[in-house]
Amino acid sequence: MTTTTVQDRPAPRPAPPAGTRRPDHRRGATTTIKYALVTLLAIGYLVPIYWILMTSFKSRTEAYEIPPRIFVAPDWSNYATYFNQSRVVEFLTNSLLITGASTLITMVLGVLAAYGLARLRPSGSRTISFFFLSTRFVPPISTVVPLFLGLKSLELFDTRFSMIVIYSAMNIPYAVWMMHGFFQDLPVEVEEAAWVDGCSRLAALWRVVLPMSSGGLAATSVLVGMFAWNEFLYALMLTSREASTLPLSMTAFLGEQGTDWGGMAAAGTVIMIPALIFSIFVQKQMARGLSFGAVKG
């Protein structure tokens, strides 16, 4: 029988210095978990879109089947029914005009207000910034009745002008809040250099600040445009015919005999397509804007 002395025992391994990299198997497990979470998140976002798309190709009978079919043969009758509506083109025209004009007005006024708060820093600027954001806390349903009565008295009910003003007022606080953060992240030295070269404050904003914050402008304009494009409540309550927007075309599939889910899904798919195409074209600028901040210092 042998005995082990203290001298025969192996020396303990020294502790790794602080800040060293983790073992490969731990980093691999962390990466796997991250990819798994991202995959689950992507599935959670894509499943509703896939379900709407599949439902748009189902007949009225297939849409009510239990259990529902996951895969169906394409049937374009729902899209034919949707586009045969007499007012679809009018709805689309109204949506394009109202969304485009309100987004332009929102970005112009929002950029000027955000730049003034970020650079001029008036007394109580933090309170003013919070006031802009707090207007988004108000439930839209609580403002419908006052807006309805006001537009009726001004004879502006069911007009494109009134919807442009309402959507702009609704989205300006959001644009101010987002662009204020982007402007604060820009170094003020680049503007001072432009002032030394003879630029006025507005010229420096146009020639220096806006090009440097193009990512933030793209991200903000996309989100503001999506809010206006998808808005349903104000369009439903404050229009009747002349200024109705594309989301209201879905109400044609609500009837006394039930909901035509296939037709409604076809309408929803058509409404999503312009927003999806626009987002694809500006995805690089939008991703850059949402991760803005690399120009600090």
pLDDT 10s digits, 140-196: 889 999 999 999 999 999 999 999 999 999 999 889 988 888 888 888 888 888 888
pLDDT confidence of residue 189: 86
Residue 293 has pLDDT above 80, yes or no: no
Q: How far apart are CA 155 and CA 52, in angstroms?
A: 39
pLDDT confidence of residue 260: 85
- When the pLDDT of each residue in the chain is averaged and rounded to a whole number, the result is 83
Return the domain boundaries, the chain.
Answer: 27-77, 87-290
CA 7, chain centre distance (Å): 68
CATH number for 87-290: choose from 3.20.20.100, 1.10.3720.10, 1.10.10.10, 3.30.460.80.
1.10.3720.10
The pTM for the full model equals 0.79
Token pair of 184, please? 């604060």
3-state secondary structure of 254: strand
pLDDT confidence of residue 76: 87
Residue 85's pLDDT band, with cuts at 50, 70 and 90, is confident
Residue 231 has pLDDT above 80, yes or no: yes
Instruction: Say which range, 69-78, 168-177, 266-275, has the weakest mean pLDDT.
Output: 69-78
Q: How far apart are CA 169 and CA 224, in angstroms?
A: 11
